[in-house]
């Protein structure tokens, strides 16, 4: 369905050619300072070709809060937000509509809904993510208020050009400890904070653009200052909710947390994260963080970090041999010029989904505090 979360809950709507896209965010605690200026920056970062927070001139994808705030404070009631679509008309039929686009949602939507919408797999459109980003911005503001939570995502791989994201390497953890959105955006639209790799990634993208092709990439995300105790044992482990959230983003193909796939080669004696008492924070911490900030499904207060691969964009600017809905072989014509890598644009979406997972986990954990304070 189109709803995510239990207590901090977003419901999105909208596809490419309807009047508007947006969402309702329910369960936002009352009294939080909030207006559109808290939400617009991430929406702007989501737009194609944008990177700086500071270029709202000639704004598109402008969000309007409909409800749930008064005098720039949340009321505790549902917050509805809308962003108007510029192109609101379903397009006319063209020969290309005979073809389900390869690796798109056209075919599967037809199998699911048994009808052909103008925009093919309508909800598979990237515009659907606008509602998520808007909702995530509210979640993020809430998390900042209660625990100074910081969420920063960045591009760590484009095609074969990879940043080192070895969890057993101190440099990687230094990066995770210090990276900021400003540093990410400082490298321009590529959004890779590694100043050596960033230009190589740009080159990689340009190569595929030249070939009228596309290329994939990986987004890595870190969350700092996470309260301990978030997440549920069993089905709703914190990493399970994060994986759910990440795999719900269009074009994502996976998820790994902490040491991830690479970690399986490291024996337990090295992979385990031993504890020590940290005088600065006056609490138990772990020496290493191969767990990625979550143990037994519950946050331990260390950095949460994870990576998400995004496939090469399915829409490409060259011909493709394929078949029509009716089963006839043919060639799907090239159409316009397309962004050869959508990975950098996924950054604010990854951040938003992360914030939504954490805000919900915070509210759920809060509901248990009786046990600690009263019942004992």
Q: What is the footprint of a second copy within residues 44-103 (CB under 8 A)? A: 64-71, 73-80, 82, 90, 99-100, 102-103
**Does residue 113 touch a second copy according to CB under 8 A?**
yes
182 is catalytic: no
Strands 217-224 and 304-310: antiparallel
Q: Nearest distance from residue 197's CB to a second copy, in Å? A: 14
Q: Nearest distance from residue 153's CB to a second copy, in Å? A: 16
Q: What is the footprint of a second copy within residues 137-176 (CB under 8 A)? A: 142, 145-146, 157-160
Comparison of 8 and 175: residue with beta carbon closer to a second copy: 8
Which member of 53, 117, 126, 186 binds a second copy (CB under 8 A)? Answer: 117
338 is catalytic: no
The pair phi, psi for residue 81, each rounded to 5°, is: -135, 140
In the set 97, 98, 236, 339, the catalytic residue is: 339
Comparison of 54 and 148: residue with beta carbon closer to a second copy: 148
The site map against a second copy for 300-339 (x = CB under 8 A) is: xx-------xxxxxxxx-x-xxxx-x-xxx----------
80, burial (CB in 10 Å: exposed 0-12, middle 13-18, buried 19+): middle
The pair phi, psi for residue 69, each rounded to 5°, is: -130, 155
In the set 97, 98, 104, 244, the catalytic residue is: 104
Distance CA 47, CA 161 (A): 24
Q: What is the footprint of a second copy within residues 28-47 (CB under 8 A)? A: 29-33
Q: Nearest distance from residue 50's CB to a second copy, in Å? A: 22
Segment near a second copy (CB under 8 A), from 6-14, 35-43, 45-53, 182-190?
A: 6-14
Distance CA 72, CA 35 (A): 5
Comparison of 52 and 84: residue with beta carbon closer to a second copy: 84
Using DSSP, state whether 349 is helix, strand or coil: helix
Strands 329-332 and 320-323: antiparallel
Please identify which residue in the block is written with the tokens 């990493």.
239
Q: Nearest distance from residue 281's CB to a second copy, in Å? A: 11
Residues 21 and 85: beta-carbon distance below 8 Å: yes
User: Would you list the DSSP string of 285-327?
Assistant: EESS-TTTTEETTEE-SSPEEEEEEEPPPS--SS-EEEE-TTS
Distance CA 180, CA 55 (A): 18
Please identify which residue in the block is written with the tokens 């962004």.
339
Distance CA 50, CA 214 (A): 19
Q: What is the footprint of a second copy within residues 252-281 (CB under 8 A)? A: 253-261, 263-269, 271-277
Comparison of 57 and 328: residue with beta carbon closer to a second copy: 328
329 is catalytic: no
Distance CA 159, CA 217 (A): 6
Residues labelled catalytic? 17, 104, 339
């Amino acid at each position: 369905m189109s709803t995510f979360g239990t207590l901090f809950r977003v419901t999105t709507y909208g596809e490419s050619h309807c009047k508007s896209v947006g969402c309702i965010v329910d369960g936002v605690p009352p009294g939080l300072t909030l207006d559109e200026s808290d939400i617009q920056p991430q929406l702007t970062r989501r737009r194609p070709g944008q990177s700086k927070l500071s270029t709202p001139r000639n704004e598109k994808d402008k969000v309007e809060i409909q409800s749930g705030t008064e005098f720039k404070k949340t009321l505790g009631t549902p917050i509805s937000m809308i962003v108007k679509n510029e192109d609101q008309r379903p397009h006319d039929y063209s020969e290309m509509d005979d073809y389900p686009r390869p690796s798109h949602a056209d075919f599967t939507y037809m199998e699911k809904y048994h009808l052909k919408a103008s925009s093919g797999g309508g909800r598979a459109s990237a515009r659907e993510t606008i509602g998520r980003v808007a909702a995530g911005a509210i979640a993020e503001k809430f998390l900042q208020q209660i625990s100074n939570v910081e969420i920063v995502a960045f591009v760590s791989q484009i095609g074969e050009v990879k940043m080192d994201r070895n969890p057993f390497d101190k440099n990687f953890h230094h990066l995770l400890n210090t990276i900021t959105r400003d540093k990410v955006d400082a490298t321009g639209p590529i959004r890779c904070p590694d100043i050596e790799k960033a230009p190589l990634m740009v080159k990689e993208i340009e190569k595929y653009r030249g070939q009228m092709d596309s290329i994939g990439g990986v987004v890595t995300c870190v969350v700092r200052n996470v309260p301990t105790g978030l997440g549920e044992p069993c089905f709703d482990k914190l990493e399970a909710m994060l994986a759910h959230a990440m795999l719900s983003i269009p074009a994502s193909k996976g998820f790994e947390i902490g040491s991830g796939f690479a970690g399986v080669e490291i024996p337990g004696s090295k992979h385990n994260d031993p504890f020590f008492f940290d005088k600065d924070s006056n609490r138990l911490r772990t020496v290493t963080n191969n767990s990625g900030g979550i143990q037994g499904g519950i946050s331990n207060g260390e950095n949460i970090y994870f990576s998400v691969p995004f496939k090469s964009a399915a829409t490409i600017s060259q011909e493709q041999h394929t078949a029509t809905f009716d089963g006839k072989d043919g060639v799907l014509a090239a159409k316009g010029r397309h962004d050869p890598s959508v990975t950098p644009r996924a950054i604010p979406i990854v951040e938003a989904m992360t914030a939504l997972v954490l805000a919900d986990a915070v509210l759920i954990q809060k509901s248990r505090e009786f046990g600690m304070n009263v019942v004992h």
